[in-house]
Amino acid sequence: MVAAALAATIGLTGPPPEQSALPEDFAAAPSGRPPSTAAAPRRPAEAFPKPPSPAAPQHGPPVRILVDDVDLDARVIPVGVTERGDMTVPDDPATAGWYRYGPAPGSAQGSTVLVGHVDTDSGDLGEFAALYDVRRGHRVEVRRSGAPPVRYRILSRVTVPKDELPSSAFRRSGAPVLTLITCAPPYVPERGGYLSNLVVTAAPIGSGRRW
C-alpha cells in the first residue's frame, strides 16, 4: 500500500509535448529527457503515502546526489509525513527528498529512497529529469552529513504504472540498494497528471552484486 500511495504522489503537471514517448527500460538506450514545456496547468492536489512506523534515527543523512554522466546534481533534504500521515516531496524540483523513515544511504540493508519532481508547474525541468538519460553502469554519488560519500552503480531503470510501483522499493531488509523515483508519461490532466513512475535502482559499489 505504501508503494502504491507514493506512486500516486510524484506525478507533475508539465506534460511533455510527446506524451507517448517513454524512456526505454534497460538494456535499451534511453530516449532522452522529456522536453521542457512553456505552459502547464497548476499542479493538482497530491496524496502522499501513509508510511510504516518510523525506523530508528539514522546517522549521516544524505545532503546531495550526483550522477556526473547525466549532469544530475541535486540537494537532498529529509522528508517525512504530513499531519494526515502522507509522505511529503520537496516542492523545489532542484531538490530531492530522502524518505527518512526508511534506510539511510550506507545502511547495511534495505532500500534507500530518494524522490524528486521531473518538472515544475511552468514546465521547467527538474534535476530528476536526468534519470531519463541514465544507463546501466553509470555511477551515483550520495554525499552525507558527517560521513563519507556512498557510491553506487546503476543496475536498472523501469517505467511502471503508478499503482504498480513494487513494494520492494520501500523494503527495510535485504541487500542494500538506492531507489530513485520520479514521474513519467503519459500525462493525462483529467486523471491528475502523470500516470507512471520512472524507477532507477542502483547497488553500492563493492557490494558484490553483478551488473
Q: Nearest-5° angle of CA 68, CA 71, CA 76?
A: 85
User: How much is the pLDDT for 95?
Assistant: 97
User: How much is the pLDDT for 188?
Assistant: 85
User: How much is the pLDDT for 194?
Assistant: 86
Q: For residue 144, which of 178, 121, 189, 172 has the smallest C-alpha distance?
A: 178
Contact 79, 101 (CB under 8 A): no
User: How much is the pLDDT for 86?
Assistant: 57
Could you identify the residue written with the cell 510527446?
18
Low-confidence ranges of the chain (pLDDT < 70): 1-23, 26-59, 84-87, 207-211
Dist CA 150 CA 80 (whole Å): 22
Count of helix runs (H) and strand runs (E) in the chain? 1, 8
pTM to 2 decimal places: 0.78
Give me the long-range contacts of 63-68 (CB less than 8 A, separation at least 24): 63/143, 63/144, 63/145, 64/142, 64/143, 65/96, 65/114, 65/140, 65/141, 65/142, 65/143, 65/180, 66/140, 66/141, 66/143, 67/130, 67/134, 67/138, 67/139, 67/140, 67/141, 67/154, 68/139, 68/141
User: How much is the pLDDT for 189?
Assistant: 86
User: How much is the pLDDT for 38?
Assistant: 32
